[in-house]
């Protein structure tokens, strides 16, 4: 009987790449290589509520500060504008009175300026019934006060924050008035006007 030789056959043995992870004193654990352990942790509901609360407080504080700043700024601008408008209105009033005056008296020194304007009441030949309008600027308080007769008007303050004021009668019956407004905390503003009058200087 003839013997048949056996053929060599290959047996497939799958290889497993494993590594040992030490857990301290316990038994090692196996895990496939290339898949590291990761621990993911999200925000809890409590942490999310705390974060939302903090953001809300920050936004509300910022909104309050911004609103306060805007209110302060616009109030400041409005106040400065009102002061300038009032002072310019006084300057225009003085100019209009000078323009139609019969007589003008200007008295000035380092501390004050007094402008007295006499306006005819319809009887050019009778100066006794003229209306008298007096404007007094004092450097100490930076105000312009006003009084009048025929009809009588008691002294009252008509302008504030006037840091400088001057008036002079120039050739050609021209009166020049200079005024400087210096509001508290604001920039100074200077204005000048010239008025032609047919009045005589007294």
Residue-wise pLDDT for 175-189, tens only, equals 999 999 887 767 788
What per-residue confidence (pLDDT) applies to 3? 52
Q: Pick the more confident residue, 197 or 76.
A: 197
8 pLDDT more than 70: no
Strands (E), the chain: 18-21, 29-32, 101-108, 112-119, 131-138, 143-149, 153-159, 162-170, 174-181, 189-196, 200-201
Q: Pick the more confident residue, 32 or 139.
A: 139
19 pLDDT more than 80: no
pTM above 0.75, yes or no: no
Q: How many CB atoms lie within 10 A of CB 33?
A: 9
The single-letter DSSP state of residue 111 is: S
In whole angstroms, what is the distance from residue 134 CA to residue 126 CA? 20
172 pLDDT more than 60: yes
pLDDT in tens, 84-116: 677 778 888 898 899 888 889 999 998 999 999
Average pLDDT in the chain = 77
Q: What percent of the chain has pLDDT over 90?
A: 24
Residue 30 contacts residue 20 (beta carbons within 8 Å):
yes
Residue 145 contacts residue 158 (beta carbons within 8 Å):
yes
Pairing of strands 200-201, 101-108: parallel
Q: Pick the more confident residue, 27 or 143.
A: 143
**Any idea of the CA torsion for 101, 86, 145, 196, to the nearest 10 degrees?**
-20
In whole angstroms, what is the distance from residue 166 CA to residue 7 CA? 130
């Amino acid at each position: 009987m003839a013997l048949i030789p056996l053929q060599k056959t290959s047996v497939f043995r799958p290889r497993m790449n494993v590594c040992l992870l030490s857990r301290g004193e316990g038994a090692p654990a196996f895990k496939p290589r290339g898949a590291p352990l990761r621990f993911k942790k999200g925000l809890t509901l409590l942490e999310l509520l705390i974060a939302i609360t903090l953001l809300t407080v920050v936004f509300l504080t910022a909104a309050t500060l911004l609103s306060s700043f805007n209110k302060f700024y616009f109030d400041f601008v409005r106040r400065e504008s009102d002061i300038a408008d009032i002072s310019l209105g006084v300057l225009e009033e003085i100019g209009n009175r000078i323009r139609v005056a019969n007589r003008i008296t200007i008295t000035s020194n380092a501390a004050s300026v007094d402008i007295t304007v006499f306006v005819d009441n319809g009887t050019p030949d009778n100066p006794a019934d003229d209306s008298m309008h007096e404007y007094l600027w004092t450097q100490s308080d930076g105000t312009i006060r006003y009084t009048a007769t025929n009809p009588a008007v008691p002294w009252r303050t008509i302008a504030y924050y006037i840091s400088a004021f001057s008036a002079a009668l120039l050739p050609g019956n021209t009166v020049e008035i200079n005024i400087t407004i210096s509001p508290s905390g604001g920039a100074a503003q200077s204005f000048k006007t010239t008025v032609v009058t047919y009045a005589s200087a007294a």
